[in-house]
A and B are shown apart, each in its own frame.
Chain A
Amino acid sequence: MNLQGVGIGRGLAIGPVLRMPDPLPEPADAASESTGDAEKVRVAGALAATAADIRLRGERAGGAAKDVLEAQAFMAEDPTLRDDVDARITAGKTAERAVFEAFASFRDLLTSMGGYMGERATDLNDVSQRVVAHLQGVPAPGVPTPDYPFVLIARDLAPADTALLDLEKVLALVTSDGGPTSHTAILAREKAIVAVVGAPDALKLTDGDTVVVDATTGLVTVSPSAEQIAEAEATMAARAAAAVIPVGPGALADGTSVPLLANLGSVDGADGALDKGAEGVGLFRTEFLFLDSDRAPTVAEQQEKYTQLLTAFAGKKVVVRALDAGADKPLSFLNDEPEENPALGLRGLRALRANETILRDQLTALANADAATNADLWVMAPMVSTVEETRYFTALSHELGLKTAGVMVEVPAAALLADRILADADFASIGTNDLTQYTLAADRLLGSVASFQDPWHPAVLRLVGEVGRAGAALGKPVGICGEAAADPTLAVVLVGLGATTLSMSPAALADVRAELARFTLDQAKEFAEIALSANSAVEARIAVSAAATSLTTITTPTESE
C-alpha cells in the first residue's frame, strides 16, 4: 500500500510509524457504580502519576519546555482542583467525569481572563486528558514519546503538540488532514522536518509499519522492499553529501538572478539564515518587539534591536515590515475593540494609521538604525488595500528619512490595481498566506476550511501574475514572502509569474535554490501558464509537477556529461 499526499520540501526518511492517539471522548455523565471513597483514591493515584509522568518528560525535554511542563505538573497536583474533584465525586460523579468537569471549570475561568491566563487553558486541557487517560487505562493523548526514532502519523498537529516535538526522534511527519499551510506544514518547513500532509489514508497505518516518506513526490511507501529501502538510503546519502557544498546566490539554470532571502521573526535567527546562504532578509517581522507588552516599546528600545539586525546583514538587503497586529496577533494598546471578523477588521496598516504615533516611532527608530549601519534597509506596510494607503505609507516613510518604502500585497484589491499601487510604491512584496485567505474567503485559522488555503489555486496565481506584470512594466521589484515561496516547485512558478526575489524560512533555502537551478526563465514562464490554466490548486500542482518531471527526464543525460 502506498499513500499519496502533498510533500513539504524535498526530504526523505525511512522508519517505523507511530500514530498520534485521538483525543479522548468526553467521559459520560453516568452515575458512579463505585463508592465515593474508592473513586477519590483512584483520582489521587491518577493525579500523582500524571504529575510524575509530566515531570519526567520535562526533565527529558529541558529548556523552555521544561518550565511549561513543570507548571503542568503543579496543575495536576493543585490542591484547590483536587478539592473540586472530590466535591464532584461526593455528589455522585464518576472519577473520570469529576476530573473532566473540574478541569473544564478552571479552563473556562482562565479562558474568560484572556491573555496569558487564556493561553494556559490549552495546558490545562492537556493535563485533564492525561489524567482521564490514566483513569481509563488508555494511552495518553499527545505526541508519543518512545525512545527510538519514528515517523509520526496524525490527523493534523496543533501548535501545542508541535512545541514539544522531539526533533531528535521524529524522522518525518505524515498527516491525513491539513494542507500545505497547516501548522504541521509550517512547522516542517521551519525546522526542515520531512513531511507529507493531506494523505487521506494515513490513519489506516498500524503502529510499527515501516515506511519510506518522500516529500519530493508526496509519496509514502508502506512496507518497502529491500531494493526500495536501499534506493532511498542511497538518495539520502547523496543529499547529505550535496548539503556540504558551499551555497551560492539563487539563480535559474539560464543565469537569471533570483535573490533568496530569509523570513525572520527576531534578531536571533540572523546567523542561522546567513549560514544557509540567505542573501538578505525579505521579511523581518517586528511583532516580537510588541507582543507580551501592554505598551509600545520606545524609539531607543526599537533602534537597538534594528541596529543589531542591520549590523548582522551589513551590505545586504533587509526588508522590515511595520508592526502587523490584529486578527491572529492582537495587541491591546493598538486595537482593544472586539471584532466579529478580525481578519477583515482594523489590522495591519489600518491599525497603525489609527495609532500613528506607534508607526512614526517605529519608522523613526528604523531610520536612526539605518543611519548608523550600512545594510540596504527597505520598509513595507502590512495589509495595504488601496492606492491612497500606499501613498500615505510611502510619503510618511520618505518624510522620516527612509529611502525605500513599499507595500505588502495581501488583499486582492491591491493585486488587481498593482499597476497603480506600484506607481507610488518603491516595491511590492506578496504575502501569499493572507492573499490566499482573502481570495478564497477562507479563514486561515479555521481548520474546517483549511482545504481552501492553498496558494497553488489559479485564482491566487493570477493575482500574483498581475503584480508581477505591473512590476516588470514599471521596473519595480516584486518579492514573495509567504509560505508559497518555500515550496520549491511553486517557487519556480512564482518566478515565472514575475517574482524577482523569494523570501522564506531559512530551512527551505537549500531546496528552493536547488530547484530554481534546474529550470530556465522560459521554462518557469511555461510552468506559470500551465498552473494558470488549471481548474484547481490540486490540478495546478499535479500538472506543473508532471511538466517538470518530463523536462528533467529529457535533460538528465546532458547533465551527466
Chain B
Amino acid sequence: MAERTVTVASAHGLHARPASMFVQAVTASGLPVELTKGDKTLNAASILGVISLGIEHGDEITLRTEGENAETVLDELATFLTTDHDA
C-alpha cells in the first residue's frame, strides 16, 4: 500500500473546478484511491465524497492506493494537490 500526505494548495480548497479535475485524475489512473481527511476515509473517485469533506486551503489529506504504478500515480496526484489551481 503506497501512501502520501499532502497539504492542499488551491486558494479555495478542493471545491468546484479543482475537485472535478482531481476526481478526473483519480479516475484516469484506473487505481482504487482512498482519501483521508481527519477521521474520514472515502473513495477519491467520488466527487460527492470529495466535496462533502469540505477540504480547504491548507488542509492536510492522505492518499492511499495499491497496484501497478501506485507510487507514480500518487506522485502525480500529490503534485496536483500541492498546486494552486485557483491562481
Q: Measuring CB to CB, which residues of chain A are less than 8 angstroms from any residue of chain B?
A: 67, 70-71, 74-75, 77-81, 106, 109-110, 113, 116-117, 120, 124, 292
Listed by A's residue number, 17 A-B pairs whose Cβ atoms lie within 8 Å are A67-B16, A70-B20, A71-B47, A74-B24, A74-B47, A77-B27, A78-B46, A78-B47, A78-B48, A79-B43, A79-B45, A80-B49, A106-B48, A110-B52, A113-B54, A117-B51, A124-B48
Q: Encode B35-52 as 1/0 by CB contact (under 8 A) with A.
A: 000000011011111011
| A117 and B54 contacting across the interface, CB-CB below 8 Å | yes
Q: Does B74 sit at the interface, judged by CB under 8 A?
A: no
| B17 and A80 contacting across the interface, CB-CB below 8 Å | no
B79 to chain A, nearest CB (A): 21
List chain A residues, Cβ under 8 A from B19. 71
Chain A facing B: main interface SS: helix
- Complex alpha-carbon distance, A77 and B15, angstroms: 18
- Besides A71-B47, A110-B48, A110-B52, 17 more A-B contacts (Cβ < 8 Å) are A67-B20, A70-B20, A71-B16, A71-B17, A78-B48, A79-B43, A80-B42, A80-B46, A80-B49, A81-B46, A106-B48, A113-B52, A113-B54, A116-B15, A117-B52, A120-B51, A292-B12
Task: Give the most central of B23, B27, B43, B48: most A CB within 10 Å.
Answer: B48
List chain A residues, Cβ under 8 A from B47. 71, 74-75, 78
B49 to chain A, nearest CB (A): 5
B73 to chain A, nearest CB (A): 17
| B46 and A79 contacting across the interface, CB-CB below 8 Å | yes
| B43 and A110 contacting across the interface, CB-CB below 8 Å | no
- Complex alpha-carbon distance, A77 and B48, angstroms: 10
A550 to chain B, nearest CB (A): 55
List chain A residues, Cβ under 8 A from B42. 80
List chain B residues, Cβ under 8 A from A70. 20, 24
The size of the chain B interface, using a CB distance under 8 A, is: 19
List chain A residues, Cβ under 8 A from B15. 116-117
Q: Measuring CB to CB, which residues of chain B are less than 8 angstroms from any residue of chain A?
A: 12, 15-17, 19-20, 23-24, 27, 42-43, 45-49, 51-52, 54
- Complex alpha-carbon distance, A81 and B60, angstroms: 25
| A80 and B43 contacting across the interface, CB-CB below 8 Å | yes
| B20 and A71 contacting across the interface, CB-CB below 8 Å | yes
List chain A residues, Cβ under 8 A from B23. 74
Task: Give the most central of A71, A75, A109: most B CB within 10 Å.
Answer: A71
Among the listed B24, B48, B54, which residue makes an inter-chain contact with A80, where contact means beta carbons less than 8 Å apart? B48
Find the B residue at minimum CB distance from A294. B56
Find the B residue at minimum CB distance from A80. B46
- Complex alpha-carbon distance, A110 and B16, angstroms: 13
List chain A residues, Cβ under 8 A from B48. 75, 78, 80-81, 106, 110, 124
List chain B residues, Cβ under 8 A from A81. 46, 48
List chain B residues, Cβ under 8 A from A80. 42-43, 46, 48-49
List chain A residues, Cβ under 8 A from B16. 67, 71, 116
B64 to chain A, nearest CB (A): 16
| B52 and A109 contacting across the interface, CB-CB below 8 Å | yes
B70 to chain A, nearest CB (A): 19
List chain B residues, Cβ under 8 A from A67. 16-17, 20
- Complex alpha-carbon distance, A71 and B12, angstroms: 16
B32 to chain A, nearest CB (A): 9
Find the B residue at minimum CB distance from A76. B47
Find the A residue at minimum CB distance from B12. A292
A120 to chain B, nearest CB (A): 6
- Complex alpha-carbon distance, A283 and B23, angstroms: 41
- Complex alpha-carbon distance, A67 and B15, angstroms: 12
- Complex alpha-carbon distance, A545 and B83, angstroms: 59
A216 to chain B, nearest CB (A): 41
- Complex alpha-carbon distance, A79 and B20, angstroms: 14
- Complex alpha-carbon distance, A292 and B12, angstroms: 9
List chain B residues, Cβ under 8 A from A75. 47-48
- Complex alpha-carbon distance, A79 and B52, angstroms: 14
List chain B residues, Cβ under 8 A from A117. 15, 51-52, 54
- Complex alpha-carbon distance, A79 and B46, angstroms: 6
| A110 and B46 contacting across the interface, CB-CB below 8 Å | no
- Complex alpha-carbon distance, A124 and B54, angstroms: 16
List chain A residues, Cβ under 8 A from B27. 77
List chain B residues, Cβ under 8 A from A113. 52, 54
Closest 6 CB pairs of A and B: A80-B46, A74-B47, A71-B20, A67-B17, A78-B46, A78-B48
- Complex alpha-carbon distance, A139 and B71, angstroms: 45
- Complex alpha-carbon distance, A78 and B46, angstroms: 5
Find the B residue at minimum CB distance from A293. B12
List chain A residues, Cβ under 8 A from B51. 110, 117, 120
List chain B residues, Cβ under 8 A from A74. 20, 23-24, 47
- Complex alpha-carbon distance, A116 and B19, angstroms: 12
List chain A residues, Cβ under 8 A from B54. 113, 117
